[in-house]
Amino acid sequence: MAGGSTIVESVDVDSKVDVKILKASDGTFSAAQSIAPEFSFSVRGKGTCPVSVGGSTGAPSNVSGKIIITSTKVTQTNEDWDAFEYSGSAYPNAT
């Protein structure tokens, strides 16, 4: 594809958090706290892949924190624009 343009076609974001639950001496729940929130994301599009493995930019706009790009894939064919996919993780509480 000429010009080095990039078009994002789809973005998937998953989030997860570990929950620690404390029980009282009588077996009832006394407190709960979420720890270690994490987002995983994947982006697919056409054109030049805007990120590289190990990079710290390229997360979707609703994902923040320490960003790590964990994989990239670039596909070239004669019948369509170059395509790319990349995925990564974000850790909101990491510094």
Question: Each residue of 15-51: pLDDT tens digit?
Answer: 999 999 999 889 898 899 888 899 999 999 999 999 9
> How many separate domains does the chain show?
1
Task: Give backbone dihedrals phi and psi of 22, rounded to 5 degrees, phi first.
Answer: -105, 135
In this model, does residue 1 exceed pLDDT 50? no
Task: Give residue 3's pLDDT.
Answer: 52
Tell which phi-psi region holds residue 26, choosing left (phi > 0), alpha (psi between -120 and 50) or beta: alpha
Structural domain for 51, as ranges: 2-91
- The arithmetic mean of pLDDT across residues 11-18, rounded, is 94
Amino acid identity, position 13: V
Report pTM: 0.77
Tens digit of each residue's pLDDT (9 = 90 or more) over 73-88: 999 988 888 999 999 9
Task: Give residue 4's pLDDT.
Answer: 62
